[in-house]
């Protein structure tokens, strides 16, 4: 990662309206070269819409963005040539084979001759698609469709890659493979913007931004987000009746969020004396608990405390 270079992406007050509805509101951020930048947020928060503006396929209502030095509104074609974009929905043709897809994308990005064949063979092998190369995309399983879409995205070695939920519907071992590839790309200097709903995956990112209702509500490294004092404390409660505890506390004003975490209950409180208040509340209401302790919040806790009660 090169900290002194110009950022690969600079978004400045990026906004998208659909009629009266504001899908993305005043979003600003920078992504440095070689970084894995994770974009998190609940369904409908505005992640895909932001990505589509950055890829030059949707024009911003206001604000601006530069990708690899090109303005996305003024030079969308320059942007499209230099990036890889794996859209959230399938962009495959059911009646083209795996190999035909790769040949098509290679042509689109000007790869020819041995360079084209080498790239295709590399990604067929790397994504375990070689045995499937003659199959029609329409007959592939969901996970293999994702593999093919990823191969098509990376074939031309773009400097900047946008991956919109690359691993949704992908089995756990394959997810790990996808992330090995993403990490290797970044190590080789490629910049990656990735969205995911799997918060364990977000731990692989150098930087994260949380978007909610079209606005970025938090950003930072996974570590700094977890440390952030605004999140107060996270308490872990063990109880013989977790559901009763959850019912009792989740509506309390001092509780930012509460939810099951394995067999325990995790409660986020945005106050330093949160643990005392929680203990006192449980005692006063004679709610039985086995233990209550402050724990290091997981990203899931951070996420829940920021968007859980809004």
Ligand X SMILES: Nc1ncnc2c1ncn2[C@@H]1O[C@H](COP(=O)(O)OP(=O)(O)OP(=O)(O)O)[C@@H](O)[C@H]1O
The residue from 48, 167, 191, 196 that contacts Mg ion (CB under 5 A) is 48
Select from ligand X, Mg ion, none the partner in contact with residue 229, using the beta carbon and a kind-dependent cut-off of 5 to 8 Å. Answer: none
Least distance from ligand X to the Cβ atom of residue 175, Å: 17
Selected range binding Mg ion among 32-40, 54-62, 80-88, 140-148, rule: CB under 5 A = 80-88
Interacting residues with ligand X (CB under 6 A): 18, 21, 23, 41, 43-49, 88
Least distance from Mg ion to the Cβ atom of residue 195, Å: 6
With tokens 């405390």, the residue in question is 305
Residue nearest to Mg ion (CB): 48
Beta pairing class for 207-212 and 215-220: antiparallel
Least distance from ligand X to the Cβ atom of residue 41, Å: 5
Select from Mg ion, ligand X, none the partner in contact with residue 104, using the beta carbon and a kind-dependent cut-off of 5 to 8 Å. Answer: none
Q: What is the DSSP secondary structure assignment for residue 131, as one 8-state letter?
A: G
Least distance from ligand X to the Cβ atom of residue 289, Å: 35
CB 83 within 8 A of CB 70: no
Alpha-helical regions (H) of the chain: 47-54, 76-82, 98-108, 113-126, 142-154, 172-187, 199-202, 222-227, 242-249, 274-284, 299-307
Size of the site for Mg ion (CB under 5 A): 3
Select from Mg ion, ligand X, none the partner in contact with residue 251, using the beta carbon and a kind-dependent cut-off of 5 to 8 Å. Answer: none
Return the closest-CA partner of residue 81 out of 63, 49, 57: 57
DSSP assignment of 149-199 equals HHHHHHTT--SEEEEESTTTT--HHHHHHHHHHHHHHHHTT-EEEEE-S-H
Measured CA to CA, the distance from residue 106 to residue 158 in angstroms comes to 12
Tell me the per-residue interface mask from 81 to 110 with Mg ion, x by CB under 5 A, - otherwise: -------x----------------------
Residue with Cβ nearer Mg ion (47 or 145): 47
Tell me which H or E stretch contains 9: strand 9-18
Least distance from Mg ion to the Cβ atom of residue 264, Å: 31
Residue with Cβ nearer ligand X (27 or 33): 27
* CA dihedral angle for residue 52, residue 20, residue 28, residue 42, rounded to 10 degrees: -70
Selected range binding Mg ion among 25-33, 42-50, 270-278, 285-293, rule: CB under 5 A = 42-50
Least distance from Mg ion to the Cβ atom of residue 46, Å: 8
Instruction: Could you list the beta-strand ranges (E) of 32-87.
Output: 36-40, 62-67, 70-71, 83-86
**Site residues (vs Mg ion, CB under 5 A):** 47-48, 88
């Amino acid at each position: 990662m090169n900290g002194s270079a110009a950022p690969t992406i600079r978004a400045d007050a990026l906004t998208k309206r659909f009629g009266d509805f504001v899908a993305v509101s005043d979003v600003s951020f920078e992504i440095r070269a070689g970084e894995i930048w994770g974009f998190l947020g609940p369904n409908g928060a505005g992640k895909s819409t932001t990505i589509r503006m950055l890829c030059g396929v949707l024009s911003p209502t206001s604000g601006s963005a530069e990708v690899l030095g090109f303005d996305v509104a003024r030079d969308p074609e320059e942007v499209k040539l230099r990036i890889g974009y794996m859209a959230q929905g399938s962009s495959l043709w059911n009646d083209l084979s795996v190999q035909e897809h790769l040949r098509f994308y290679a042509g689109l990005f000007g790869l020819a001759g041995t360079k084209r064949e080498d790239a295709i063979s590399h990604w067929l092998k790397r994504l375990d698609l070689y045995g499937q190369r003659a199959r029609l995309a329409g007959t592939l399983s969901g996970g293999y469709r994702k593999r093919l879409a990823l191969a098509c995205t990376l074939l031309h070695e773009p400097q900047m890659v946008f991956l919109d939920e690359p691993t949704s519907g992908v089995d756990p071992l394959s997810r790990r493979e996808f992330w090995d590839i993403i990490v290797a790309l970044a190590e080789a200097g490629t910049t990656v913007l990735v969205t995911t709903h799997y918060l364990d995956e977000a731990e692989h990112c150098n930087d994260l931004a949380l978007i909610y209702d079209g606005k970025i509500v938090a950003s930072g490294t996974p570590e700094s987000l977890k440390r952030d004092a605004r999140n107060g404390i996270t308490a872990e409660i063990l109880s013989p009746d977790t559901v009763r505890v959850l019912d009792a506390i989740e509506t309390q004003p001092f509780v930012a969020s509460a939810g099951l975490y394995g067999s325990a209950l995790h409660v986020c409180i945005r106050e330093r004396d949160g643990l005392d208040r929680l203990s006192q509340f449980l005692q006063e209401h004679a709610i039985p608990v086995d233990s209550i302790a402050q724990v290091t919040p997981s990203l899931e806790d951070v996420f829940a405390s920021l968007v859980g009660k809004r």
